Amino acid sequence: MGAGGTTDGSSRGPITLSDVAREAGVSIATASFVLSGRAGAPSAGSPQTKAKVRAAAERLGYVPNRNAQAMRTGRGGGIVLALGVIADPWSVGLAEQVRADALPHDLSTLILADERWYEYISGNAADCAFLTSIDFTDDGPEKVRRLSASSHSGLVAFSATMEPERFDVIRSSPHRAVRDAYRRLRARHDRVRLLAPDRLHLLGGTQVPQRTQTFLDTAREHGDGPAEDLVRTSLPGGRESYRTSLEWLSAPERPEAVICYTGYQAVALQAAAERLGLRQPDDLEIISIGDVPAESQYYGSISYYGVQDVFVRISEVVVGRARDRSDRPGELHTFDWEFFAGDTTRDPLPAPEADPARGPDPAPDSARASGPVPDSGSA
């Protein structure tokens, strides 16, 4: 069997790469370059040649054999998104954007819904793998380096600690966003609370995630606490967050100002408040750390800290790396956070000025002397 993976419906058998090359009037090598996703290489020929090859493949019903391509190139014709929690609107929004950008380049999108990205990429080829949850375990960065050394897959690491090597790094630290969110709410309330997913037991890690640690540090700076008592956790997922929120908001000393670790928890908290008849922002103010896609907001817009056009920007990096088959050095892509006011906060205050005396943002997700608290979350 040739490099093709389909038949033309007759008795002659599968359509091969040779058939496509003959139909297009080009060499097998040129057809291979075009149909394997390497159309940007000089060997793929002119735009007219590429168009002829693709048209011939479509007429004949040719489908590339991804297994054969993986053996030749070390890549498997797709993009892997290691997202961990797919219930998060952030994960859904990113997956939809990557899918839309990847399909025109004949790249499929696969989502890993668990944290076993190292094991999966070790045994499977991908044109690019987008890796999250790296900073939540002690050996996360080292696993990325091992994959880079042993795999032909393109890699993009979502990490606030790593530097690019043979892989790209997207750095997007939420440190200042959490601090600003706390100060913004603390200016109007005596107590600010954090709603966070309890995922440490799922990740097998012992580190306190940066968002949680920054919240604890900021609460202590304001003399609030005990800081750990200001954190409420729930099991991962929208339904569990909703149940936790209902119980929390029904308590005698319910929260009045909440920072949500991630977008899906903000959506769940807002829905619980609506069910209980709590007005926002009069009875409850909510700020999400992380983007909340508009289609996930059913009861008005949620105020959040996030990155402008974050899905488009991440997708550009990931799809770009998938299409680039060269051994170029990795690049660092830094995304800055900003505040987007919605219906869940009162008239927005100016974002607090950073304190120059504090220096740069600390290294994220590192375990501190105070020890871990039971919370974690998606990257």
Mean pLDDT value across residues 217-233? 94
358 versus 302: the higher-pLDDT residue is 302
Instruction: Please state, in angstroms and rounded to a whole number, the distance separating the CA atoms of residues 272 and 295.
Output: 18
Tens digit of each residue's pLDDT (9 = 90 or more) over 93-147: 899 999 999 999 889 999 998 889 999 998 888 999 999 989 888 899 999 999 9
Class assignment of domain 175-306+339-358?
A: alpha beta
- For domain 6-72, give the CATH superfamily: lambda repressor-like DNA-binding domains (1.10.260.40)
pLDDT at 208: 73
Higher pLDDT, 68 or 33: 33
Is the confidence at residue 313, as pLDDT, over 80?
Answer: yes
The 3-state DSSP class for residue 205 equals coil
The mean pLDDT value for 345-364 works out to: 54
Does this model's pTM top 0.85? My answer is no
Q: Is the pLDDT of residue 72 over 80?
A: no
Give the integer Cα–Cα distance in Å for 90 and 92.
5
pLDDT recorded at residue 12: 57
CA angle in degrees (0–180, nearest 5) for 237-242-245: 125
Q: What is the pLDDT of residue 204?
A: 45
Which residues does residue 168 pair with via DSSP β-bridges, in sequence order?
A: 156
Sequence-separated (6 or more) residues with CB below 8 Å from residue 362:
175
When pLDDT is averaged across residues 40-45 and rounded to a whole number, the result is 54
| Overall CATH class of domain 75-173+311-334 | alpha beta
With tokens 């005596």, the residue in question is: 190
Distance between CA atoms of residues 319 and 109, nearest Å: 10
Residue 254 neighbours by CB under 8 Å, 6+ apart: 248
pLDDT of residue 377: 36
Q: Which residues sit opposite 259 in a β-bridge?
A: 194, 287
| 175-306+339-358 matches 6-72 in CATH topology | no
> Residue range 152-168: average pLDDT?
92
* Dist CA 114 CA 325 (whole Å): 27
DSSP secondary structure, 89-151, as one string:
HHHHHHHHHHHHHHGGGT-EEEEE-SS-HHHHHHHS--SEEEE--GGGSTTHHHHHHHHHHH-
Pairing of strands 338-340, 303-306: antiparallel
CB neighbour list of residue 51: distance below 8 Å, 6 or more residues apart: none
For the stretch 180-208, pLDDT in tens is 999 999 999 999 999 998 854 344 445 67
DSSP state of 260: E
Q: What's CA 149's distance to the chain center, in Å?
A: 23
Q: Per-domain residue ranges for the chain?
A: 6-72, 75-173+311-334, 175-306+339-358
| CB contact at 8 A, 43 and 30 | yes
- What residue has token string 């819904």? 113
pLDDT of residue 238: 86
